[in-house]
Amino acid sequence: MISVLSGGVGAARLLAALRRYDEKLELEAIVNVGDDLTLHGLTICPDLDTITYTLAGLHNVDAGWGLAGESWRVMDELAALGGAAWFRLGDRDLATHLYRSQRLAEGATKTDVARELAAHFALGVRVLPATNDVVATMLDTEVGPLSFQEYFVAHHHDVRVTRVRVEAHDARATPEVLASLARARRIIVAPSNPVLSIDPILAVSPLREVLRERRDEVIAVSPLVGGRALKGPADRLLRDLGHRPDSLGVAQLYRDVVGTLVIDEVDAALADDVRELGLRCVVTTTVMADPHDAQRLCEALLA
C-alpha cells in the first residue's frame, strides 16, 4: 500500500499514472484541505475535487482545471445579479459542492463525503482529506493578507508574497490518515507546491512527526523542472520567500521529512547538492509528457 501526500493537479496526474501503472496497487491519497473555502454558503474543497474528477476521468484536459462538458448557467446568472462570481463554479461542479455542503450539515465529515464521492465514481483510490478540521493557508502579500483562493484565483497568483501562514490551530489528522501512513510501505510526496500544498498537510498534527519517523520510506517528486513549475506559482513563490526556486530549494524544504527526492533529468547537475543535504536523489523524467515517461516515473517511485 502506498500513501501519496497530495495537492491538486500535479498530484492528481501522478495518482492517475500510478493507478494505470499497476491496477493492483493499493493507493491512498492524503489530500491538502488548506485551500478549502466557504463561498455562497457552500463548502468547497478544490484539491479533493481535482483529484476526484481527474481519477474519474471527468477533468477538462484542455483547460487544465475544472470538468469536461461543464456549463456555466448558475455563474452567469449570479454575475448578472451582481453576485460574487470571481471564483468560477460550473453547474456540474456545483452539484459536488451542494452534495458536500448538505452532507456536512447532516453531520457527515469531509472524510465521509470524499469516501462517498470516490465510491460513486469508482475511483479505485482512497481519497482522504488530511483532516476534518479547519486548515487555512493565508498569504501575506504586497496587497495585504489574502486567503489562498484570493491569492490564487482572484489575484491570479500574480502578487509578491512575503509570508505564508498555515492556520492549522488544533487540526488533527483523521484516524484514516494515521492508519494509512502507518500501513504504507512507501509514502510518496506528489509533485505539488511544497509551501502551498504539502506544508498545509504537514501542519496537521501529528503528520510532520509521522513523516520524520518514516523519513526513509518517504520519496518526494520535485515539482520544479529546470527552475520552473509546470503549473502554478511554485517557482516565483519560493523566490519571493527567499528559497532557491529549483529542486535544490525543494530538497532544503523537505530534508527533515523526505528520504529520497526525485528530480528531473534537466536538473541532473543538482543531484550531488541534493545528496549533500542528506537525501537520496533519483534522476529521471518527472514531467509525464507521455505514457512512457509516466511509466518511468512510476517505476522510480515504486522501485
What residue ranges bind a copy of itself (CB under 8 A)? 38-43, 71, 73-78, 80-84, 91-92, 94-99, 101-102, 104-105, 116-117, 120
Q: Across-strand partners of 173?
A: 131
The angle formed by the CA atoms of residues 256, 262 and 267, to the nearest 5 degrees, is 110
For a copy of itself, the closer of residues 127 and 203 by Cβ is 127
Query: From the CB of 113, what's the least distance to a copy of itself, in Å?
Result: 10
For a copy of itself, the closer of residues 61 and 80 by Cβ is 80
144 grid coordinates:
495585504
For a copy of itself, the closer of residues 35 and 235 by Cβ is 35
For a copy of itself, the closer of residues 25 and 58 by Cβ is 58
Distance in angstroms (rounded) separating the CA atoms of residues 187 and 147 = 29
Q: Which helix (H) or strand (E) holds 78?
A: helix 73-80
Query: From the CB of 69, what's the least distance to a copy of itself, in Å?
Result: 10
For a copy of itself, the closer of residues 108 and 138 by Cβ is 108
For a copy of itself, the closer of residues 101 and 252 by Cβ is 101
Query: From the CB of 285, what's the least distance to a copy of itself, in Å?
Result: 37
- Residue 132: closest CA among 87, 164, 100: 100
List phi, psi (to 5°) of 123.
-70, -30
Cβ-based neighbour number of residue 71 at 10 Å:
12
Query: From the CB of 136, what's the least distance to a copy of itself, in Å?
Result: 15
For a copy of itself, the closer of residues 55 and 237 by Cβ is 55
173 grid coordinates:
489528522
Distance in angstroms (rounded) separating the CA atoms of residues 57 and 61 = 9
For a copy of itself, the closer of residues 27 and 94 by Cβ is 94
Query: From the CB of 146, what's the least distance to a copy of itself, in Å?
Result: 17
Query: From the CB of 291, what's the least distance to a copy of itself, in Å?
Result: 30
Pairing outcome for strands 37-39 and 42-44: antiparallel
The angle formed by the CA atoms of residues 61, 26 and 94, to the nearest 5 degrees, is 40
Supply the angle between the helices 9-21 and 291-302 in degrees, to the nearest 10: 80
Query: From the CB of 232, what's the least distance to a copy of itself, in Å?
Result: 26
Query: From the CB of 298, what's the least distance to a copy of itself, in Å?
Result: 30
Give 153-161 contacts, CB < 8 A, sequence gap 24+: 153/86, 153/87, 153/88, 154/86, 154/87, 157/232, 157/233, 157/236, 157/237, 160/240, 161/237, 161/240, 161/241
